[in-house]
Amino acid sequence: MSDNTVFVGNKPVMNYVLAVVTQFNQGAEEVSVKARGKAISRAVDTTEIAMNRFLENVTKSEIITSTEIVDTESGKTNVSSIEITLSKI
């Protein structure tokens, strides 16, 4: 796992875009954007907006989808997750 990880949740997408851009501006070579469940769409939005509007010389180096097992009040449940890694070229 990258040290520079942005977990995408239910806040407005620009919050996460700003977090990603800030990490690159602070010198990160690589930033991972992670999300689970319904936030997966917002994670894709985050990387698309960050790359199209704010970042230059950054590419999507890896996209992984997986299933995580999460404990809830009503027992264990499966939830899909995504990890999109952005890297400086």
Q: Are 39 and 82 in contact (CB under 8 A)?
A: no
Q: How many CA atoms lie within 13 A of 58 on its CB side?
A: 25
User: Which residue has tokens 């996209």?
Assistant: 63
- Closest separation between CB of residue 34 and a copy of itself, Å? 13
Number of residues that bind a copy of itself (CB under 8 A): 21
Question: Interacting stretch for a copy of itself, rule CB under 8 A, among 2-10, 15-23, 24-32, 56-64?
Answer: 56-64
In terms of DSSP bridges, do strands 5-8 and 30-36 run parallel, antiparallel, or are they unpaired?
A: parallel
Q: Are 6 and 20 in contact (CB under 8 A)?
A: yes
Name which position in 10, 57, 74, 78 contacts a copy of itself (CB under 8 A): 78
Question: Interacting stretch for a copy of itself, rule CB under 8 A, among 3-11, 20-28, 46-54, 69-77?
Answer: 46-54
Which residues contribute to the site for a copy of itself (CB under 8 A)?
37-41, 44-45, 47-48, 52, 60, 63-67, 78, 80-82, 84
